[in-house]
A and B are shown apart, each in its own frame.
Chain A
Amino acid sequence: MRVLIVEDEKKTASFIRKALQSEGFAVDVCHRGDDALTAVTTTPFDGVVLDIMLPGRDGLSVLRQLRERNDHTPVLLLSARGEVNERVEGLNAGADDYLPKPFAIAELVARVRALGRRGAESKSPLLRVGDLTLDTMLHRAQRGGKFFDLTAREFRLLEFLMRSAGRICGRMSIIEKVWDYDFDPGTNLVDVYVKRLREKIDEGFEPKLLHTVRGAGYVLKE
């Protein structure tokens, strides 16, 4: 997967590049908005990480220009402002995802990876990770023949983690997808829910499936 990073802050661009490269992405970097437009025209990319504040041409205008040209390369917008209106504005302009700064690298990597998978995401009603299964039609989850009593929210959380199995889910992603909050709740809501979920699906079972990645988020994997 080939990704273009458009970020004028050199240090930020550098650690995003390192992180994506270490995860096996081919990465190009440019520091100006107008250069980004040229780069996207000459090279096909599987995804673009686009900062909003850029010299030359700002990220939102680059994005609009791309979409006007009928270029549907998936775009992840980065913004230092991290404020509701801007998020809505970005998604309206045609962004596929939006991440406010400062972000966890693991979260960024997971989202860039999701960009490539956009549309191809499994819609299967039956999800399986190890011996844990979740039936989204019957609203049932079980492991080793034992059915779990889950609240609606716990069920959505488990479904989200299972659909992203093997990938780190950052707190922000969980808040957005499971709670549909467009703000950082500033509480340990996610951690408390994950802890409860872990007690239900992991206690008394081996191997443990729900893991914490300190400083980044959670991952469900064998």
Chain B
Amino acid sequence: MKIRTRLTLWYATILIVSLAIIGVGTYQEIAEQMEHRHLRHPIWEEAFDETSEMIFPVGLPAIFLGLLGGWWITRKALAPVTALTRAVESVNDGNLREQLQRSGNGDELDRLTEVFNDMKARLDGSFQRIREFTLHASHELKTPLTVIRGELETALREENFTPAQKERLVSQIDEIERLAKIVDGLTLLAKADAGQVKLKFEPVRLDDLVRENVADAKILAQPQNINVDLRGCDELTISGDRHRLRQLLLNLTDNAIKYNRPDGSVAISLERNNGFAELKIENTGAGLVPELQPRVFDRFFRGDSSHSNAVDGCGLGLSIAQWIALAHRGTIEFASEPNKQTIVTVRLPNS
């Protein structure tokens, strides 16, 4: 039950009880006067009628007016609460810095807004610190990585190692490269979170990028004998950042190949749909059970941890793809029927 309804009901009860008290009081007064005047036993019915005559014609409209007024007052008093609720509803990690409008009249709700703004500012500070931490951490990690890698390469060139020792060193360099990729991905996402990555928007022929990407995907897919098929490719020009869109396409097709089964297939299509460029990438991999699907764009999310080591990658590909789609004011969706079909759909506004 809404506060307004509850207050109005309480108010109505109070009004009715007050009217009843007034009624009882008036009745007793009238009855007493009658007793005095007539010096005989009071005629209760008469007194009752007289009271009713006095109370109802005035009292009932008064109750009605009172209720109406009360309803209006609660409504007026609670309006800022409704406004505040709406404002709070729209808060997310992206607009924490925007302050809620204060009435400035120093009442309880103004105070509540102030407290809420303070809380937002503190939250914003925490988010800011997390972002800065990720940014600094990924930056700080690069110097030691550079040194380790450089020292290993120098050692490989200068010392006399047996082939087995050399192999071990080279494998360490491979791992450093992998770590460097993770750090790169983290840096990119941390910068994107902080709104520090500038996209260069220009008209881009999306169909050309898709065709180019399919040519690369076909070659990437050959070792596992996966068939890559371009189902349809409408001619489409959108406003976007060319490099980021190529990165999006490569990340998605690469995922469709990596998480596929041998001899599986990947189908790609680009269509114009309701003012959107709709890109679909289907694959025949193991997919994901429904409970895990909402988490697929989370950073470092790995569907089935038991086989995560079998697939090489930094675990940030889909998070980066999601960021690119959102940065183009588009959407990205993941739908999967385990072991049958997994579809990633990207919709980008078609200018």
Residues of A within 8 A of B (CB): 9, 11-12, 15-16, 18-19, 22, 80-85, 100-106, 151, 153, 181-189, 192-193, 196, 214-216
- Residues of B close to A19: CB separation below 8 A: 150, 153-154, 157
Give the complex CA separation of A206 and B319 in angstroms. 46
Q: What per-residue 1/0 map shows which CB atoms of B307-339 lie under 8 Å from chain A? A: 000001110010000000000000000000000
B188 at the interface (CB under 8 A from A): yes
Instruction: Verify A12–B147 contact, CB threshold 8 A.
Output: yes
Q: What per-residue 1/0 map shows which CB atoms of B237-252 lie under 8 Å from chain A? A: 0000001001100110
- Of chain B, the residue at the smallest CB distance from A7 is B146
Instruction: Verify A192–B223 contact, CB threshold 8 A.
Output: yes
Give the complex CA separation of A22 and B142 in angstroms. 25
Instruction: Verify B153–A84 contact, CB threshold 8 A.
Output: no
Give the complex CA separation of A151 and B173 in angstroms. 31
Give the complex CA separation of A106 and B149 in angstroms. 11
Instruction: Verify B150–A105 contact, CB threshold 8 A.
Output: yes
* Known contacts A19-B157, A186-B181, A186-B313; 20 further A-B pairs (Cβ under 8 A): A9-B147, A11-B150, A11-B151, A12-B146, A82-B142, A84-B243, A102-B142, A102-B177, A105-B153, A153-B215, A181-B246, A181-B247, A186-B314, A187-B250, A189-B250, A192-B220, A192-B223, A196-B222, A214-B170, A215-B152
Instruction: Verify B188–A83 contact, CB threshold 8 A.
Output: yes
Instruction: Verify B150–A192 contact, CB threshold 8 A.
Output: no
Instruction: Verify A215–B156 contact, CB threshold 8 A.
Output: yes
- Residues of B close to A16: CB separation below 8 A: 150
Instruction: Verify B146–A103 contact, CB threshold 8 A.
Output: yes
**Of B176, B222, B243, which contacts A183 at CB under 8 A?**
B243
18 example contacts (A-B, Cβ-Cβ < 8 A) are as follows: A11-B147, A15-B147, A18-B154, A80-B143, A81-B142, A83-B187, A83-B188, A83-B191, A84-B197, A85-B196, A102-B145, A102-B150, A102-B180, A183-B243, A184-B184, A186-B185, A187-B220, A214-B173
Instruction: Verify A182–B151 contact, CB threshold 8 A.
Output: no
For residue B291, give the distance in angstroms from its CB to the closest CB of chain A: 27
Instruction: Verify B157–A22 contact, CB threshold 8 A.
Output: yes
Give the complex CA separation of A80 and B144 in angstroms. 10
- Of chain A, the residue at the smallest CB distance from B212 is A153
For residue B13, give the distance in angstroms from its CB to the closest CB of chain A: 66
B216 at the interface (CB under 8 A from A): yes
Instruction: Verify A85–B222 contact, CB threshold 8 A.
Output: no
For residue A173, give the distance in angstroms from its CB to the closest CB of chain B: 15
- Residues of B close to A187: CB separation below 8 A: 220, 250, 254
B46 at the interface (CB under 8 A from A): no
Q: B241-275: which have CB < 8 Å to A?
A: 243, 246-247, 250-251, 254
B198 at the interface (CB under 8 A from A): yes
Give the complex CA separation of A164 and B53 in angstroms. 111
For residue A71, give the distance in angstroms from its CB to the closest CB of chain B: 27
Given contacts A81-B187, A102-B146, contact A181 B215 (CB under 8 A): no
- Of chain B, the residue at the smallest CB distance from A185 is B250
Q: What per-residue 1/0 map shows which CB atoms of B179-218 lie under 8 Å from chain A? A: 0110011011001000011100000000000000001100
Given contacts A19-B154, A184-B184, A185-B254, contact A101 B142 (CB under 8 A): yes
Given contacts A16-B150, A18-B154, contact A101 B243 (CB under 8 A): no
For residue A152, give the distance in angstroms from its CB to the closest CB of chain B: 8
Instruction: Verify B176–A102 contact, CB threshold 8 A.
Output: yes
- Of chain B, the residue at the smallest CB distance from A10 is B147
B77 at the interface (CB under 8 A from A): no
- Residues of A close to B187: CB separation below 8 A: 81-83
Instruction: Verify A184–B181 contact, CB threshold 8 A.
Output: yes
Instruction: Verify A189–B220 contact, CB threshold 8 A.
Output: yes
Give the complex CA separation of A19 and B154 in angstroms. 7
Give the complex CA separation of A215 and B246 in angstroms. 26
B20 at the interface (CB under 8 A from A): no
- Residues of B close to A216: CB separation below 8 A: 153
- Residues of A close to B139: CB separation below 8 A: 80-81
Give 8 nearest A-B pairs by CB, closest first: A15-B150, A102-B146, A215-B173, A80-B142, A101-B146, A102-B145, A105-B153, A214-B170
Given contacts A102-B145, A102-B176, A192-B220, contact A15 B243 (CB under 8 A): no
- Residues of A close to B154: CB separation below 8 A: 15, 18-19, 105
B174 at the interface (CB under 8 A from A): yes
Which of B143, B156, B187 has the most C-beta atoms of chain A within 10 angstroms of its own C-beta? B143
Give the complex CA separation of A184 and B320 in angstroms. 12
For residue B116, give the distance in angstroms from its CB to the closest CB of chain A: 35
B9 at the interface (CB under 8 A from A): no
Give the complex CA separation of A178 and B57 in angstroms. 94
- Of chain A, the residue at the smallest CB distance from B180 is A102
Give the complex CA separation of A22 and B13 in angstroms. 97
- Residues of A close to B169: CB separation below 8 A: 215
- Of chain B, the residue at the smallest CB distance from A215 is B173
Given contacts A192-B223, A193-B219, contact A215 B184 (CB under 8 A): no
Instruction: Verify A182–B220 contact, CB threshold 8 A.
Output: no
Instruction: Verify B216–A153 contact, CB threshold 8 A.
Output: yes
- Residues of B close to A82: CB separation below 8 A: 142, 184, 187
